[in-house]
Amino acid sequence: MDVSTEVIKTGTSTVGITYNGGVVVGADHRATMGHFIANKSVQKLFRISKNVALTTAGLVGHAQSLSRTLAAELRLFELKRDQEMTVKGASTLTANILSGRPHYVQLLIVGVDDSGPSVYSIDSAGGSIPDVYCATGSGSPFMYGVLEDQFKPGMTQDEALALAAKSLLASAQRDAASGNGMDLAFITQKAGFNQLSEEDVSELLANL
């Protein structure tokens, strides 16, 4: 990895929201170096297995390395045991990796398994906390204002997608380190990971 990418930080807004039957996950695109916008199309949302996704906030190099490691570990688990790792198992594995060698990141592990949809927030030292929704990154205070006001148990997929989009828009409007568009995806046990196209995101935002 080029040394220059190691100092690029994703100030970041990422979000995970459980709904009735699945989980929605999203992230913005902006990466910064201090007050300089270093990149406007950074990937912060990663599919790491059929039913598990990762979002990242922090150093780009650490985030990319972790996404590759986790995807490989979950694939090896599936090949050895002929079953998919649970979302809790993926969060524990991630937490163990971070506690052994801290990374400058804040992560969300989200997904669906036999126990239902889950969102886990994982800090740079390996702490893992489950919740029904969570936001990370510098834009999270603005996102939580929207989430606290509008989240409700048993939401539909469309409602959860709209709420994720609204929270990411709120952070983009107030957090200088967040913005330049968003990635959105949903995960269900039957259909697995599905990321919205740019056209689908644009249509969703137009209808908010």
Residues recognised as catalytic: 12
Closest CA to 142 of 5, 14, 18: 14
For 35, the 3-state DSSP assignment is: coil
For 147, the 3-state DSSP assignment is: helix
What is the layout of strands, in order, in the sheet containing 14-19? 133-136, 14-19, 22-28, 182-188, 192-195
C-alpha radius of gyration, the chain, whole number: 16
For 176, the 3-state DSSP assignment is: coil
Q: How far is the C-alpha of 25 from the C-alpha of 82, rounded, in Å?
A: 26
- The set of residues, in sequence order, having a beta carbon less than 8 Å from that of 6 and lying 6+ positions away, is 59, 60, 61, 62
Structure tokens at 78: 């599936």
At position 187, the amino acid (one-letter code) is: I
